Amino acid sequence: MKVLHVITTLNSGGAEKMLVDIVKEMQIQGITCEVAVLTKAHNFFGQQIEKLKIPVYYGPTPKVYAFKNIFFLKNIIETHNYDCIHTHLFASQLFTPIALKMAGKQISLITTEHSTHNKRRDSKKLYLLDYWLYRQYDKIIAITTDTKENLKSYLPSTGYKTEVIENGIDVLQYLESPSLDRFEISPEISEREKLILMVAAMREQKDHETLIRTSKLLPLNYRIVFVGDGERLEEVKQYASEYGRDTILFLGKRMDVPSIMKASDVFVLSSKWEGFGLVVVEAAATGLPVVASDVDGLNGVVKTLGGQVFEPFNEHDLAEKIIASIESEKVKLDVSKYTIQETVKKYLALYKEI
């Protein structure tokens, strides 16, 4: 079986990280994979896939939504023989069916729905576009039951062909990662401090602001550390300077996230919406207690892990849950349900079915 995965970028996001683990595990299971990326402008994970000797094709422009990407995909589809094409994130979901029609080939199409909500669903003008788009796919993979139900509520016609396959991680990567010394994370951090870690792209969805406001409600020896980059980085830093404690650290993109997790005391994800929240599973695998916002998709995963949820946008509730997590006896969270091996096993069964 030969599978083409199509994604918008290989930037430092959950869907992008998930794709790296998917193609690695598929390769282990004897599946030939190739990857098409609409732009190389944000290529945080690209080298990890290339090290696996998996072919990666990059689009001709730094703009994800450039129409040139349709012809880029058409050329790949025309010149290669695939049994299945699997798309991830909106631009890839949109352009791939068009390119496939232009190439004049009959290839099974699958897409993964990575979120319980997106801004398109707030626009009546875009409803018909989404209606057309999802009709092009043979199967839709929803990463949680909430993701499926929200999509079905928005587009009832998707219900019959949407299957829930939960995300997974390479558990050993997180279990076996060494812990960093505090000075290796940043020279500003002292050993006596309690570290509250959030790893998330600097996007509106992630709501870094609530955790920033929480900083002033925590004991003085608690320090918040953000890992991640994105279009709102400077805006979030400005917000922190106005509404947060001056000890907040912004580390940007890091390749040693598992080791930073091992050196931290609690993990927080304060998203406004989330399809799954893969990073909370990664944190739990390193032994970190997890606190996350009580929103569809994310809350079910956190509760299954044995973590805590807080009321969205409520910094007082978040502060209480952080303190309780740090002061209580550490309990090992069970991540056995969320392995990349199980996820890929279900993906391959779906590919063979169609």
**What is the reported pTM?**
0.87
The structure tokens listed for 203 are 């996007």
What's the pLDDT score for residue 303? 92
Is residue 128 located within the same domain as residue 247?
A: no
DSSP 71-140: HHHHHHHHHS--SEEEEESHHHHHHHHHHHHHHT---EEEEEE--S--GGGG-GGGHHHHHHHHHT-SEE
Same domain, 240 and 198: yes
Range of the domain at 159: 2-168+339-353
178 in the same domain as 91: no
Q: How many structural domains are present in the chain?
A: 2
Query: So what's the pLDDT on residue 331?
Result: 73
Q: Does 321 lie in the same domain as 176?
A: yes
Domain co-membership, 47 together with 164: yes
149, 222: one domain: no
Q: Is 260 domain-assigned?
A: yes
Residues paired with residue 35 on neighbouring β-strands, in sequence order: 5, 56
Rounded CA separation 166/171 (Å): 15
Same domain flag for 223 and 74: no
Same domain for 207 and 279?
yes
Task: For residues 217 and 147, state if they share a domain.
Answer: no
Compute the distance between CA of residue 20 and CA of residue 249 in angstroms, rounded to an integer.
Answer: 28
| Residue carrying structure tokens 């997106």 | 118
Specify whether 118 is located in the same domain as 236. no
Contact present, 37 and 58 (Cβ < 8 Å) = yes
In a domain, 87, yes or no: yes
What is the chain's pLDDT, residue by residue, as a tens digit (354 residues)? 999 999 999 988 889 989 999 999 999 999 999 999 999 888 889 989 999 999 999 999 999 999 999 999 999 999 999 999 999 999 999 999 999 999 999 999 999 999 898 889 999 889 999 999 999 999 999 999 999 999 999 999 999 999 999 999 999 989 889 999 999 999 999 999 999 999 999 999 999 999 999 999 999 999 999 999 989 999 999 999 999 999 999 999 999 999 999 999 999 999 999 989 999 999 999 999 999 999 999 999 999 999 999 999 999 999 999 999 999 877 777 898 899 999 999 999 999 999
Q: HEC string of 222-288? A: EEEEEECCCCCHHHHHHHHHHHCCCCCEECCCCCCHHHHHHHCCEEEECCCCCCCCHHHHHHHHCCC
Q: What is the pLDDT of residue 42?
A: 82
Alpha carbon distance 296, 148 (integer Å): 11
The CATH number that applies at residue 222 is: 3.40.50.2000
Please report whether residue 332 resides in a domain. Answer: no
190 with 290, same domain: the answer is: yes
Give the residue from 185, 177, 102 showing the smallest Cα distance to 136. 102
Confidence at residue 293, expressed as pLDDT on a 0 to 100 scale: 97
Helix/strand/coil for 174 = helix
239 CB-contact burial (10 Å; exposed 0-12 / middle 13-18 / buried 19+):
middle
Q: Give the span between the Cα atoms of 142 and 151, in whole angstroms.
A: 9
Rounded Cα distance between 224 and 246, Å, is 10
Residue at 334 is within a domain:
no
- pLDDT value at position 148? 96
Specify whether the CB–CB gap between 293 and 205 falls below 8 A.
no
Torsion sign, CA atoms 49, 50, 52, 55:
positive
Does residue 143 sit in the same domain as residue 183?
Answer: no
Instruction: Please indicate, yes or no, if residue 213 is contained in any of the structural domains.
Output: yes
